[in-house]
C-alpha cells in the first residue's frame, strides 16, 4: 500500500520537554506525582507509571482539587500549565514542585496577566474543562471569559475593552473564525492569537493533504484536543480514522484503498505512529499474511 507520512507529526517540543522532566524526576526523587495527565496519552501515562511516577487524575476535578490527594513528595505540573493558586497550594503543603508547563502556555499566561494589569478583560477561546483552559481562566475568573462558540461573544459588554486569545492547541481555522466574528460584534477588541507553532504547522499539513489520498489515519489518544482537531480538519474532505495505536486499526477499512496518509497528535509517541506507517506500507489486501499486527513494545513508548 502507498503511504504518505505527513510531516511534521508526533511529539512537539513541549511534550518532549515534559517527558524528559518526568523521566529525570523518577531518577532523582521518591514519591513522584503528576497533577493530571502529563500529556493526553494513556500510553505515556502507563509508561511513566512503570518508572514509579503516579498520575493523579479524576474526571471533573480541577488541578487545585487534585492536590488534596498528595500529602508529600514531588509534584509535577503538566505541560498544560496551572494557575498561581495551584503553585501556592503546593508550596503550602511543602511539596517539591517541578514545573513541566509548555513554554507556549507560559507565554499565554504572561500575556493575560500583562493585559489584565493594563485594564483589559480577556476573551479566552478554549475547550470547557480542558486543563490548559482551566489554568488560564483561573488567573482571574471574573475578568477572563471562556469563549467556546459565537453565542458566547454576544454575552460580552460592548462598552468594555477586551483582548482575545486562546488555548494553544485550538484549530487555527476555528480561532480565526471566532476572532473575525468577534471583531464585528465588539468595537473595543484587540486580537492576540496564541496558536503554538507545532499545532499550526501540523494542522496546515493536514489541510494541504495530497488529493490522491484515499484514507487518513490520525494516531493519538481520544482525550487529546490537538489530535481531535487534526482528525476534524482531515475529515472535511477525506475518510479519516482516529486510532490510539495499530491495534485499533480495522483491516476492513483498508479494502479497496490505494493510498493512505498518516499523522499524529503532538502527544503521540513516535514509536506508535511509525508502527502504523510500517504496517500500512507492507499491507496487501490480497495477502492475509500482511494482516498480522506486531505487538507493542512498552519499553519503546518513551523513546
Residues involved in catalysis: 132
- Phi, psi for 93 (deg, rounded to 5): -90, 5
Going by their DSSP bridges, the two strands 2-5 and 215-219 should be labelled as: unpaired
Q: Which three cell numbers stand for residue 62?
A: 480541577
User: Alpha carbon of 223 to those of 59, 129, 131, 166: distances in Å?
Assistant: 12, 12, 11, 19
Instruction: Measure the CA dihedral 103/109/112/114, to 10°.
Output: -80
What are the percentages of helix, strand and coil residues in the chain, rounded to 5? 45, 15, 40
**Which residues make beta-bridge pairs with 189?**
162
Residue bearing cell 503543603 = 93
SS3 81: coil
Say which DSSP state 107 is in.
H
> How far is Cα 286 from Cα 76, in angstroms, rounded to an integer?
50
CB count in 10 Å sphere of residue 296: 16
On whether the CB atoms of residues 38 and 18 are closer than 8 A, the answer is yes
Amino acid at each position: 500500500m502507498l503511504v504518505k507520512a505527513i510531516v511534521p507529526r508526533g511529539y512537539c517540543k513541549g511534550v518532549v520537554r515534559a517527558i524528559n522532566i518526568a523521566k529525570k524526576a523518577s531518577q532523582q526523587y521518591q514519591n513522584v506525582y503528576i497533577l493530571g495527565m502529563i500529556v493526553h496519552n494513556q500510553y505515556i501515562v502507563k509508561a511513566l507509571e512503570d518508572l514509579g511516577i503516579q498520575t493523579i487524575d479524576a474526571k471533573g476535578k480541577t488541578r487545585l482539587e487534585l492536590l488534596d490527594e498528595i500529602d508529600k513528595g514531588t509534584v509535577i505540573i503538566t505541560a498544560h500549565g496551572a494557575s498561581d493558586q495551584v503553585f501556592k497550594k503546593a508550596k503550602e503543603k511543602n511539596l517539591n514542585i517541578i514545573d513541566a508547563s509548555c513554554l507556549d502556555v507560559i507565554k499565554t499566561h504572561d500575556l493575560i496577566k500583562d493585559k489584565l494589569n493594563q485594564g483589559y478583560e480577556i476573551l479566552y477561546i478554549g475547550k470547557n474543562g480542558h486543563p490548559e483552559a482551566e489554568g488560564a481562566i483561573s488567573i482571574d475568573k471574573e475578568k477572563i471569559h471562556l469563549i467556546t462558540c459565537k453565542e458566547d461573544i454576544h454575552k460580552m459588554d460592548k462598552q468594555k475593552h477586551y483582548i482575545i486569545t486562546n488555548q494553544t492547541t485550538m484549530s487555527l481555522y476555528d480561532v480565526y473564525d471566532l476572532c473575525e466574528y468577534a471583531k464585528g460584534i465588539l468595537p473595543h477588541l484587540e486580537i492576540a492569537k496564541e496558536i503554538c507553532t507545532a499545532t499550526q504547522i501540523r494542522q496546515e499539513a493536514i489541510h494541504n493533504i495530497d488529493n490522491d489520498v484515499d484514507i487518513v489515519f490520525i494516531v493519538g489518544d481520544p482525550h487529546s484536543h490537538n489530535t481531535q482537531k487534526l482528525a476534524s480538519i482531515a475529515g472535511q474532505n477525506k475518510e479519516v480514522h482516529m486510532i490510539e495505536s495499530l491495534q485499533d486499526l480495522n483491516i476492513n477499512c483498508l479494502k479497496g484503498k490505494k493510498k493512505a496518509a498518516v499523522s499524529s497528535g503532538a502527544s503521540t509517541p513516535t514509536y506508535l505512529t511509525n508502527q502504523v506507517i510500517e504496517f500500512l506500507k507492507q499491507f496487501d489486501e490480497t495477502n492475509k499474511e500482511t494482516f498480522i499486527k506486531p505487538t507493542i513494545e512498552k519499553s519503546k513508548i518513551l523513546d
